Amino acid sequence: MTTQNMTLNLKVWRQDAPGKKGKFVSYIAKDISPDMSFLEMLDIVNADLAGQKEMPVAFDHDCREGICGMCSLVINGKPHGPDEGTTTCQLHMRRFTNGDTIWIEPWRAEAFPVVRDLVVDRSAFDSIIQAGGFVSVNTGGAPDANALPIAKEDADMAFDAATCIGCGACVAACPNASAMLFVGAKVSQLAKLPQGQAERPERALNMITQMDKEGFGACTNHYECTAACPKSIPLRVIGEMNQDYTKSLIFSGR
């Protein structure tokens, strides 16, 4: 395990604006502590660039606690880097060694156009969520926790799907840039709960239709999505979504 500070060779994707031609630019990251997170390392690099009056590298971040999903980087060809079940902000520099060359680039998908450098526009995910509609709930005081009996197996499966943070790593990892794991997680999460039943027949149909409109590819069972997912969303959510989608097509007469 690395214990001393490191010097790293970075190859960073730089792109001035959407539609502009981009390229990899080389930078040297000096005096990097193995206890730093990957984003803290980029902060050091940007501080050096600012000191040289150069434009800092643009990258997304927010909570830096593995919750928000904003830290969307492809590191050495892997979304969120080499560690499984880990977001970029939780990846520590001890995972690398002194003198390593690290390639850093944004998500690569037609539906995620580059805004600048390492930042992509993921509003396509928002459109898919909006297409899913609302969830019917009664207004008033919060019901007792035991008022709605839910089988533990269903509750656990709903919770597994609900851990999706919408980062888009599944899309970046898929050769087809498919969003099926993301959509499957959102559909399956509600399909397992009583509150999600009223709109269930339309939800999968509407969300998949919107997914196709946004330009995401189809799933062809590469399984790269779940391997790259920082929350390890199970593949079963895709199958469950496909079942709801088929039922929706039959009931709607399409």
Mean of the per-residue pLDDT values for the chain?
93
CA angle 35, 38, 39 (to 5 degrees): 115
| Record: fold of 122-252 | Fumarate Reductase Iron-sulfur Protein; Chain B, domain 2 (1.10.1060)
Checking if the pLDDT of 156 tops 70, the result is yes
Mean pLDDT on 204-224: 95
Find the range with the poorest average confidence among 26-35, 91-100, 144-153: 144-153
The full set of domain ranges for the chain reads 6-115, 122-252
User: What is the C-alpha separation between 207 and 132, in angstroms, rounded?
Assistant: 5
Checking if the pLDDT of 135 tops 90, the result is no
Find the range with the poorest average confidence among 6-10, 103-107, 191-195, 222-226: 191-195
Pull the structure tokens for residue 109: 């998908």
141: helix, strand or coil: coil
Residue 1 has a pLDDT of 53
pLDDT band of residue 8 (cuts 50, 70, 90) is very high
Residue 186 has a pLDDT of 95
Checking if the pLDDT of 204 tops 90, the result is yes
User: What is the C-alpha separation between 222 and 201, in angstroms, rounded?
Assistant: 28
Mean pLDDT on 75-101: 97
Mean pLDDT on 96-124: 97
Checking if the pLDDT of 150 tops 60, the result is yes
User: What is the C-alpha separation between 110 and 64, in angstroms, rounded?
Assistant: 26
Can you say how many angstroms the Cα of residue 73 is from the centroid of all Cα atoms in its chain? 10
Domains 6-115 and 122-252 share a fold: no
Distances 56 to 50, 97, 104, 116, 158 between C-alpha atoms, Å: 6, 24, 14, 11, 41
Could you read off the pLDDT of 16-39 as tens digits, one per residue?
Answer: 999 999 999 999 999 999 999 999
Residue 251 has a pLDDT of 78
Query: For residues 49-84, b (16+ Cβ closer than 10 Å) or e, as one string?
Result: eeeeeeeebbbbbeebebebbbbbbbbeebbbbeee
Query: For residues 33-42, b (16+ Cβ closer than 10 Å) or e, as one string?
Result: bbebbbbbbb
CATH for the 6-115 domain, from 3.10.20.30, 3.30.70.1290, 2.60.40.3080, 3.10.300.10: 3.10.20.30
Residue 195 has a pLDDT of 81
Checking if the pLDDT of 139 tops 60, the result is no
